[in-house]
């Protein structure tokens, strides 16, 4: 076993040998009293510190309106980290980490508050952590522009900087509500900072298995030759959730599943599955190829939406033997709402590799189980040898990439059942992250925050990709505008969605492959 471990060590190809180390930095979190800071950001920063991935000199400022001081905010964050951290909090590690936490009380629209913030983060005693400044906007998108302008006017964010200095603006999704608002937001941001300074964060791209898609595709010679229209019949991308909208009813009334999940998460995964090999592993080469994929997707015009897109909304039902209310009965939801909690769509990519291969995407709330996976289904072999015995029952070969939970990859193929009869049964070869590596899998925000600190934009969304995604979604929303949901568009909680979604695939000779835990 020791020899095998030594061999494994020799075989490891270290792609991150040129990765920059984290230099001293100052991180300012706007919206420090919010849910995101408590549930994700501070636990992620604590984990990075506990694993010695942060420099010795760094500061984290929480900016919010509520009256607090350093000690009270540290105490709140300790409770949050203890509750949401994936690993137990070590007291000694926390005490050291807490010494880097500071609270700043101020109003987001108060210019004087930003002047005081500037004096604090650029104080002479703050060297060298003041050279690398990150401003994390964990607030409503409507406040992005205001905060950016205030930071610019205060002299801590701009398109110019001294030698060895960096200024970065990290913004959370959603990046606009449609193409017009996304363009407006991008224009506001690039007026005060270069595009390379803006890090649009979407936690989904920080998931370990999502990152592994590129490695799986381009480092394995047995798969890359098959990754095209000659071999692949169709692709399914599923992101299902057992939970309903819960306390997010107000948000969902304005967003809906198309804006909340399809425009970002699902299209981002599609771009990784369908992209061409980049010329190198640098950030811009990878992001260039992802944008090319989105631009190659055939637009769905409003008049074409009915034949290519299905929407749905959950009604009362049962999940895990627990009764669930209908979406229209959720808190802060209009009792006559037509907002979609489910979307399924068929997309075609008009390029040489994928011509004629449909990509089926779906997402929904209150479905049978929570899972996220990609299924690449291959074309069937000619039914010459096994037509008499199997006919259409011969199972299709497929690769399934499970993004969550139980992250891993499986290969489905046909094998003969032992015995004298010629019986064929589909079998699985499974790769499990937990089973193979058995190690701690970092939370998405750990990877993304560290990348922002070192200035690596690979896993962040560029403005042209945001706009390309919205240009695909806007015609669909236009088709739904003013159209009430039909009876066939409602689905019972605990099911796999409306029957219309099954009919969408059946019309093209396909069927959904539902995730199984």
As annotated, the active-site residues are: 265
CA torsion angle 31 35 39 42 (round to 10): 20
Q: What whole-number distance in Å separates Cα of residue 509 and Cα of residue 511?
A: 7
In the chain, the largest separation of any two C-alpha atoms, in whole Å, equals: 85
Write the burial class of residue 497 (CB in 10 Å: 0-12 exposed, 13-18 middle, 19+ buried): buried
Answer for the pair 413, 426: CB distance below 8 angstroms, yes or no.
yes
* Element housing 288 (H / E): helix 283-296
Answer for the pair 138, 31: CB distance below 8 angstroms, yes or no.
yes
Answer for the pair 190, 146: CB distance below 8 angstroms, yes or no.
no
Q: What whole-number distance in Å separates Cα of residue 313 and Cα of residue 343?
A: 9
Question: Taking the CA of residue 256 as centre, how many other CA atoms within 13 Å lie in the half-sphere pointing to its CB?
Answer: 23
CA torsion angle 60 63 69 71 (round to 10): -30
Answer for the pair 400, 373: CB distance below 8 angstroms, yes or no.
yes
| CA nearest to 254, candidates 333, 335, 316 | 333
Answer for the pair 229, 356: CB distance below 8 angstroms, yes or no.
yes
C-alpha pair distances (Å), 219 with each of 13, 307, 335, 433, 491: 11, 37, 51, 17, 41
- Other CB atoms within a 10 A radius of the CB of residue 362 amount to 26
DSSP of 139-201 = S-GGGHHHHHHHHHHTTSS-S---TT-EEEEEEESP--SSHHHHHHHHHHHHHHS-GGGEEEE
DSSP of 64-90 = ESS---HHHHHHHHHHHHHHH-SSPPP
Q: What whole-number distance in Å separates Cα of residue 340 and Cα of residue 259?
A: 10
SS (H, E, C) 363-385: EECCCCCCEEEEEEEECCCCCCC
Q: What whole-number distance in Å separates Cα of residue 508 and Cα of residue 356?
A: 12
In sequence order, what are the residues at sequence separation of 6 or more whose Cβ sits closer than 8 angstroms to the Cβ of residue 159? 192, 193, 194, 197
In sequence order, what are the residues at sequence separation of 6 or more whose Cβ sits closer than 8 angstroms to the Cβ of residue 250? 332, 333
């Amino acid at each position: 076993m020791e020899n095998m471990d030594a061999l494994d060590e020799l075989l490891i190809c270290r792609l991150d040998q040129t990765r920059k180390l984290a230099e001293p930095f100052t991180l300012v979190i706007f919206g420090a009293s919010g849910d995101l800071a408590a549930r994700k950001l501070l636990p992620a920063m604590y984990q990075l510190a506990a694993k010695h991935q942060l420099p010795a000199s760094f500061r984290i400022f929480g900016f919010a309106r509520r009256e607090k001081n350093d000690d009270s905010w540290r105490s709140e964050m300790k409770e949050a980290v203890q509750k949401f951290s994936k690993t137990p909090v070590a007291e000694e590690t926390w005490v050291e980490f807490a010494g880097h936490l500071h609270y700043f009380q101020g109003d987001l629209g108060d210019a004087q508050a930003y002047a005081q913030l500037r004096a604090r983060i650029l104080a002479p005693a703050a060297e060298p952590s003041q050279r690398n400044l990150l401003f994390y906007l964990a607030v409503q998108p409507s406040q992005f522009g205001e905060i950016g302008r205030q930071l610019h006017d205060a002299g801590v964010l701009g398109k110019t900087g001294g030698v060895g200095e960096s200024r970065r603006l990290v913004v959370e999704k959603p990046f606009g509500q449609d193409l017009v608002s996304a363009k407006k937001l991008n224009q506001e941001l690039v007026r005060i900072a270069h595009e390379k300074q803006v890090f649009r964060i979407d936690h989904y791209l920080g998931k370990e298995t999502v990152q592994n898609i590129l490695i799986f595709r381009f480092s394995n010679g047995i798969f890359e030759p098959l990754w095209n229209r000659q071999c692949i019949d169709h692709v399914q991308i599923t992101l299902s959730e057992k939970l309903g909208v819960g306390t997010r009813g107000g948000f969902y009334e304005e967003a809906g599943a198309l804006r909340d999940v399809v425009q970002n998460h699902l299209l981002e995964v599609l771009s990784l599955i369908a992209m061409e090999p980049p010329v190198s592993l640098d950030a811009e080469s990878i992001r260039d190829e992802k944008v090319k994929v989105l631009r190659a997707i055939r637009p769905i015009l409003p008049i074409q939406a009915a034949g290519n897109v299905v929407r749905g909304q959950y009604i009362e039902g049962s999940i895990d033997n627990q009764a669930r209310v209908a979406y229209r009965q959720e808190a802060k939801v209009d009792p006559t709402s037509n907002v979609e909690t489910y979307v399924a769509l068929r997309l075609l990519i008009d390029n040489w590799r994928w011509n004629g291969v449909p990509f089926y995407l779906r997402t929904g709330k209150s479905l049978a189980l929570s899972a996220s996976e990609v299924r690449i289904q291959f074309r069937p072999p000619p039914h010459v040898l096994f037509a008499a015995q199997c006919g259409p029952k011969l199972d299709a070969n497929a690769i399934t990439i499970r993004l969550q939970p139980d992250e891993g990859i499986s290969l489905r193929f046909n094998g003969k059942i032992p015995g004298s009869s010629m019986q064929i049964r589909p079998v699985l070869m499974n790769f499990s992250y937990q089973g193979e590596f058995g190690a701690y899998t970092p939370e998405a925000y750990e990877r993304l925050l560290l990348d922002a600190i070192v200035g690596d934009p690979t896993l962040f969304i560029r403005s042209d990709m945001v706009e390309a995604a919205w240009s695909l979604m806007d015609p669909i929303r236009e088709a739904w505008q003013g159209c009430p949901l039909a009876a066939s568009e409602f689905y019972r909680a605990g099911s796999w969605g409306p029957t219309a979604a099954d009919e969408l695939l059946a019309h093209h000779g396909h069927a959904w492959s539902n995730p199984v835990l």
